[in-house]
Amino acid sequence: MLANFGYRDGSGEWFIVVNTDMCDGCGECVDACPASVLDVGENEYDPLSESPMVRVKDGERNRLRYSCAPCRPGYGQSPAPCVAACEPGAISHSEGWMIVDGNT
Amino acid sequence: MAEVTSQECWRWPESSLVNPDIDWKRGKLVTAGVDVGSVSSQAVVTVDGELFAYSSTRTGSDSPGSARKALGMALEGTGLTPDHLDYCVGTGYGRVNVPMAQRTITEIACHARGASIMYGSDVRTVLDMGGQDCKAISCDDKGKVQNFVMNDKCAAGTGRGMEVFADLIRVPVWEIGERSLQVVKEPEMISSTCVVFAKTEVVGLLEQGVPESEIMAAYCAAMAHRIKELLSRLGVMEKLAITGGIAKNTGVVRRLERELGIRTAEQAWSNPAYAKIPFDTQIAGALGAALFADALVSRGKVESGRKM
């Protein structure tokens, strides 16, 4: 599944999208994130799943507009550190809605 | 105008039900799901994964009390007590405040699973129109979440907004849907998104002498339009099931169907064994929670907490 963490406001949308089928819970991105917003834990949208996944920490979810600001397109490095660190390619940004639509 | 005072218009009826076909004493595994939402609370009790009892009640000012009340209503007259429960899962907005729950599960997961059982495993999109938020979830044939979108913390286009509106025009909230469909011509929809501004707009319409049914149609149309915008971000895959309180408002549902150009899933049990049980769109979250509890215990992931 796709787990979306982020927000939408006047400046557009910013979502960290984790593809839980690809995430192996290695935690490389946790160390790569300059704002330390990520952690590895259980998949809360699939309580019966055994495999851990990377998530945005509970207390960070409503603060991403500040913590992620330095990495938004046009500001930080491209691709963003968490995306670059993810070997399985499970993390992407802001495209969650379009992927599911099937006609990106 | 209906003969009720303004205070009563939002007070939708509470309900509870026991499945007469099941004897819980013969069951091996008794689990419960308690869904404490911002406006309503539901409890569902399952015996070996089959629906045994449910209740739907209004959430009061304290969440633990509402959770106890909901479970108490569901268990009333069955001889079953909370001590007989093997496992209880709390879900919904107030899930951290369910005293009898051993663990919590997000309502996104619970609604998808509950809707998949209620409406059928061919459901691919679940729209939960709750009291204070609205979620669109896409799920697979096992009721597993694939993706979801949620409106932000705002009462616009939600159940609480409809209650406020009912109070304002003094029509019982459960009658609004049917009566909004009695218009000859669809009026222009309420343009304000925000409930507070929409209220001002409705007062203006009332002062102009616009007929009640037209105002209701305008409000239901605005809500349907807002929900459609939310759904378009996720992409709608059939079959589309609507859960939550607004699913009972035919005025919103019919207009949403018109906007999307598809029919929503029939509000009836997909499992013929439940045919005699009244179908309540609001219990999906609690049912999902109870089924997760059942799955967690039967798969040996958690210990049964049964005391009796």
Beta bridge partner(s), residue A90: none
* Average pLDDT of chain B to the nearest whole number: 91
- Residue B8 located in a structural domain: no
| Residue spans of chain B under pLDDT 50 | 6
- Residue B7 located in a structural domain: no
- Mark yes or no for CB contact B108/A47 under 8 Å: no
How many domains in chain B?
A: 2
Q: What is the per-residue pLDDT for A100? A: 40
Which residue among B105, B147, B295 places its CB closest to the CB of A96? B147
- Residue B2 located in a structural domain: no
Which residue among A2, A45, A97 places its CB closest to the CB of B233? A97
Q: What is the per-residue pLDDT for B1? A: 53
Q: Where are the domains of chain A?
A: 2-99
Structure tokens that stand for B19 in this block:
């499945």
Domain A2-99 fold: Alpha-Beta Plaits (3.30.70)
Whether residues B141 and B81 share a domain: the answer is no
Q: What is the per-residue pLDDT for B3? A: 56
Query: In this predicted complex, what is the ipTM?
Result: 0.78
- Whether the CB-CB separation of B230 and B149 falls below 8 Å is answered with yes
Q: What is the per-residue pLDDT for A95? A: 52
Comparing CA positions, the residue from B198, B174, B234 lying closest to residue B40 is B174
Q: What is the CATH number of the domain that holds B50?
A: 3.30.420.40
Whether residues B182 and B207 share a domain: the answer is yes
Residue of B nearest to A18 (CA): B147
pTM summary value: 0.89
- Whether the CB-CB separation of B131 and B35 falls below 8 Å is answered with no
Whether residues B144 and B251 share a domain: the answer is yes
pLDDT band with cut points at 50, 70 and 90 for residue A99: very low
Q: What is the per-residue pLDDT for B152? A: 62
A9 close contact with B: CB closer than 8 A: no
- Mark yes or no for CB contact A97/B235 under 8 Å: yes
Q: What is the per-residue pLDDT for B212? A: 92
A47 close contact with B: CB closer than 8 A: yes
Q: What is the per-residue pLDDT for A70? A: 87
Contacts across the A-B interface (CB distance below 8 Å): 45
Whether residues B91 and B132 share a domain: the answer is no
- Whether the CB-CB separation of B129 and B158 falls below 8 Å is answered with yes
- Residue B223 located in a structural domain: yes
Q: How far apart are CA B64 and CA B248, in angstroms?
A: 26
Q: Across residues A56-77, what is the average pLDDT?
A: 85
Neighbours of A7 (CB within 10 A): 16
pLDDT of residue A101 exceeding 70? no
Which residue among B105, B146, B147 places its CB closest to the CB of A47? B105
- Residue B36 located in a structural domain: yes
B152 close contact with A: CB closer than 8 A: yes
Give residue B184's domain range: 128-260
Q: What is the per-residue pLDDT for B192? A: 83
Structure tokens that stand for A97 in this block:
């809605």
The 10s digit of each residue's pLDDT in B135-175 is 999 999 999 999 888 776 577 778 889 999 999 999 999 99
- Residue B213 located in a structural domain: yes
Q: Where are the alpha helices (DSSP H) in B146-276?
A: 159-169, 176-180, 195-207, 212-234, 250-260
Whether residues B272 and B255 share a domain: the answer is no
Neighbours of A38 (CB within 10 A): 24
Q: What percent of chain A has pLDDT over 70?
A: 87
Mutation target to probe the A interface, by most A beta carbons within 10 A, among B139, B147, B232 is B147
